[in-house]
Amino acid sequence: MYRSTKKKIRGWKRHKRKIDVWKERHLRLDMEHVRNRHRDYAKLWIYPFYGIPNVNPPVWYSRLLVRAMIDVYDEWYRQMGAENEDFYLKIWLFEHDFIRSQIVVAYKEAIDFYSGAFDKQKRGQSFPMKRFETLQHELNRFDWQLHIDAHHCWLSEMEEDVAAGLIAREDILDIKDASYQKVTYDHDVLYKVKAGNVWIGSLTEEPSS
């Protein structure tokens, strides 16, 4: 869940410094970890925006975060290139719940670990470049593909919630009606409900030295 920035947030100088701290923490991949696990990620876990519920930062702050993410991505790209292995390295930008945006990397046995994380959006829609217009040059180095940020609702779990009095049976019907995809398994049914958009960015122009 997320909400807007209508609640007043103070101490913006301090919050801007948190971006530098985040960038410094993630700029260099822990290659020992990556070689052992074959994957890693860098999430924007920055308080007070990432919490319960999440808070979308103002546009100017989001632009600073994207700039830091691109710097981290470029450095990861250089490090992974030195491994002489194919790798999956993407930026995930969540459009509606921005603070969940992250960088993910995988290779070797885990190279496909993240590739099926989201369903691709069928309808055409342009990347929201206007929101990040001061970063247009940097963002144009990437190919941005639109995907669906979905809630996964399992029928068995919803039935348990009805039995526990947490939701009404009508809520299950509403979820079924709102779902864009139904997946039937041997012992359960999964309903996918769209929560928003997520843009997956792949580098098309290598970072400068």
> How does pLDDT run across 15-26, given as a tens digit for each residue?
899 999 999 999
Unique residue bearing structure tokens 């909400």: 3
pLDDT above 70 for 115: yes
pLDDT above 80 for 8: no
Q: Which residues, listed in sequence order, are joined to residue 107 by a DSSP beta bridge?
A: 87
What pLDDT was estimated at residue 54? 82
Would you list the domain boundaries of the chain? 2-150+196-203, 151-192
What pLDDT was estimated at residue 124? 77
Please compute the mean of the pLDDT values over residues 63-88 and round it to a whole number.
97
- Cβ-count burial 82-91 (b if 16+ within 10 Å, e if not): eeeeebbbbb
